[in-house]
C-alpha cells in the first residue's frame, strides 16, 4: 500500500529565503512517480514538479527543485527565493505504476512567507 508522509504541518520562511518541505514515501513498486502540488486558498491544485522513480537527476522547474533520495525514500521540495505569493498549502503525492493509476496525497504543509 502506498503511504505519503509530510511531517511539517506548518512552515514559515522569510521572503527571498529558501525553504525545504519534507516528504517521505513508502512503496514496494519499482516504478512510481512523485509529484508536488500547490493549493492556494482558492482550492485549485497547481502542479509544481514531477520526479520519476527511474530519473537519475533531481527534477527542477524554475524556483522549484525536488531533492530525490531514492534509498531514503524521500522527495523533498525546495523553493528558492521565496515570494509572498508562495504562501499556500503544499501537497506531496505519489502514483505507482502506470500513468493512469490513482494518486495518493500526503497531509500537506502550510507554508507562510513572511515579508
Partner 1 sequence: GAVVSQHPSWVICKSGTSVKIECRSLDFQATTMFWYRQFPKQSLMLMATSNEGSKATYEQGVEKDKFLINHASLTLSTLTVTSAHPEDSSFYICSAPPIKSYEQYFGPGTRLTVT
The interface mask with partner 1, positions 52-91, x = CB under 8 A, is x--------------------------------------x
Q: Using CB under 8 A, which of 13, 27, 33, 48 touches partner 1?
A: 33
Separation of alpha carbons 33 and 93, rounded Å:
8
Nearer to partner 1, 73 or 104 (CB): 104
DSSP per position, 27-94: -S-SSEEEEEEEE-TT---EEEEEEETT--SPPEETTEEEEEETTTTEEEEEE-S--GGG-EEEEEEE
List interacting residues with partner 1 (CB under 8 A): 33, 35, 37, 42-45, 47, 50, 52, 91, 95, 99-100, 102-108
Amino acid at each position: 500500500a502506498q503511504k505519503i508522509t509530510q511531517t511539517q504541518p506548518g512552515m514559515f520562511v522569510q521572503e527571498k529565503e529558501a525553504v525545504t518541505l519534507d516528504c517521505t514515501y513508502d512503496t514496494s513498486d519499482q516504478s512510481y512517480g512523485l509529484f508536488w502540488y500547490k493549493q492556494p486558498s482558492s482550492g485549485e491544485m497547481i502542479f509544481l514538479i514531477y520526479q520519476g522513480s527511474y530519473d537519475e537527476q533531481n527534477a527542477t522547474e524554475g524556483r522549484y527543485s525536488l531533492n530525490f533520495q531514492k534509498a531514503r525514500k524521500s522527495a523533498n521540495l525546495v523553493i528558492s527565493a521565496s515570494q509572498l505569493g508562495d504562501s499556500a498549502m503544499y501537497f506531496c503525492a505519489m502514483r505507482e505504476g502506470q500513468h493512469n493509476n490513482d494518486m495518493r496525497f500526503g497531509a500537506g504543509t502550510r507554508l507562510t512567507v513572511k515579508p
